[in-house]
Structure 1
C-alpha cells in the first residue's frame, strides 16, 4: 500500500490506549501520521505519548495562538489524505453528525476534503441507543464518511455486546482495503445465520448458529469496497453498515432469496449460513398437544443452497463453510470437491469458546492445492483476513 498522510483524531474513552498502538502500526507501514486530541482524550492518554510515537507535534486546541497564527486547522485539513477518528465517542459522533465545529477535531472534519473514517467505541447500551443510531445513519449517508465497526465482545465496564473499538490491526486492514482491492466494485452475496423449519405454529427445528461470522464477513466485504447483499436467517445482530440485508426463515426461503440475489449479479458467493439439512415432512396447522410418551417426526431433505449456486452454469466464485466436530480436514475437503467449490472454510465447532455463539473462531481455509489456518482470533479479525485472501484468489481467477 502506498504511503499516505494520516490524520488521527483521538476522542475521550478508555479505548484511546489502542490508538497509541494504531499510530505505531501506521508508522511501521510507512505512513506519515499526525494526531489531534480532544480534551476528553487527554484524560486517558497524554499528548506526549502520541508525539513520541508519531514524531510530530500533537494538536489539542482550536484556540492555540501559535498554531492558529497560520490557520493551523486549515493546514491540517489540507494536509491529510485520510482522516481516522479512533476512538470515536458517542459525544463526538453526535457533534460530527450535526455538522458542529466546536473544537479542533470537528473543525478539521468540516474543513477537510479527505475521506473520513469513524471508528466508534462506547458502552453497548450507548451504541444501541436510538439517538446514537440515528447519528450513525446520518454519517453512513455521507459519501465522505465511512463507519468502521464497532466490534463485539467484553467491554471495560463489564458489559458484553457491540461497542468495542476495532483492534488496531483491523483498522490498518480497512485502510488498506479502502486503497483498492480485488473486491472493489464487486457484487458479493453472503448467507448467514440459522434457518428454522416449523414443526407446528410454535415449534421448529434449528441450530446454534448466531450469524456472527457471516455478519463479520459482510462488514469486511463492504469495507473492501464491494456491494454486499446479506441473506440472513433469524439472528439478533444489527445490520452491518452499508450492507443490504434480506431476512429469511426456512431453508427453502434461503435458496429462493440467495438465487434471486445471484440472478441480480454476483461475482462472489459466500455461504456461511447453517442451513437445516432436513425439515418436517408436514407442519401441523395447530399446536401439537402432549398426548403420549413418544412421538415420531418424519423429516424430508431440504434443498442445498450452496450446491445449487455452485452448480449453476453462470456460477460465481463460490466459498463454502464447514462446521464439523471431528475429522475436520477430511470432511471439509470432501465437501469442497463434491459441491465443486472454489474454496471452503472449515472450523471445529466442538472446540470450547470458538465457533457457534462465540465472538471468536479458528478456521482452516482449503482450496485446490493449498490451505491456510487462521486464529484463534476474533471473528471480526478473521473476517478481515478471509476477505483479503478470497479477494486475492478472486483476482487470480480474473487474470
Structure 2
C-alpha cells in the first residue's frame, strides 16, 4: 500500500480541528431499561452492560469476582438443610453424618444450640437420601445424637441466618471445583454447544492439553491420531468407515472420525489430505489403504502419528458452520491451525513452510489464517483446502 499521500511529502496544509473539550459525570444513577438511549441522561447504566450491577446503596458497581467453574453445578445455587436433633455426644462442622435407619448422609455445616433453645439443630450440606423423623445419627459409626423432626430445606429462621447458611453450603461445594490438571495459566478457551473448552499446558510443560467441562468436572479431550494420504480415488473414503492398511504383517486398522480433503478430488483420483481417528490396531506401512476390501483406494507414506499441541500457545478461536454444524477454528501461535467439533480435533494444513498461524478470522465462507505479513485462506465453504 502506498502511504506517501497520507504521511509523506511536503504539503503544509493542515486540517484545522476544534480544541477538544472534556466533561465529566458521576456514575451514580442506577439501571434504566425504559428511557430511549438518546434521552437517557449521563450517569445511568443501560441494559446489556457487562460485569456491572445495581448497588444496594444506589448507583452501580463492578462485580466482586467470578464463581469458580468446572462444569459442576454452581456452588452459589446449592441449598442447605435444617435438621432438628437431640445431641447426646458431639457434632462438629465438617463431620459426615449417617442416619442409622434411613442410611441418609450429609456434611455438617454448623451446629446451632442457641437460636431455638432448647431445640438444637444441624445445618447440613450435600444431603443424600431423607433422614427419618426419629432415628440415631452416627459420626464414624458412633451414635452422637438423634433426629427430632423431618429435615427442612433452606429454612433459616431469619434472613441473616439464611444468607449465612447459603454462604456455608456454597463454600462446601466450591471446594470440590478444581482447575484442569496441568501447569501455568489457562491458554485460552471457547464455548461450543453449551460446553466450555479450555487449553492448558500439561504438568511437565511439554505440550498443551484440551479439556472440556462436564457435570463431574474438567475432563481431558483426546486429540486423536492423524495419517496423511495421497492419490485418493476414485472411490471416496468417508467418515465412520474402517480403514485397513494393505501392507505389512499386521496392517493398521482404524475407524475414521474425520476425512480432511486438502487438495484434488476423489473423482479424479487426485485426492490428498489426512485421515483422523481415535485409535488403531496394527501398524500402517507405506503403500495402499482400503475400505471394505474395495481395493487400493489411497496411498500413505508410513504409520500414523499422535496429534499434539506445542506448549505455551495463546489460543484465538472463531466459531463457524461451514455446513456440517458449528465448529471451532483456532490458532495458538505455536502449532498448526485446527478445527474442533467437540469430539474430533483436526489440524489444518495451509502449505506454508512454517505452518504456524497467529490469527484466525472467517469471512464470506473463507477460513483465513495469518502468518506475520502473509494471509492464507481456504476455498469457499472448504476450510481444509
TM-score relative to the length of structure 1: 0.23
- Greater relative CO, 1 or 2 (CA 8 Å, sep 6+): 1
Structure whose residues are more often helix by fraction: 1
Structure whose residues are more often strand by fraction: 2
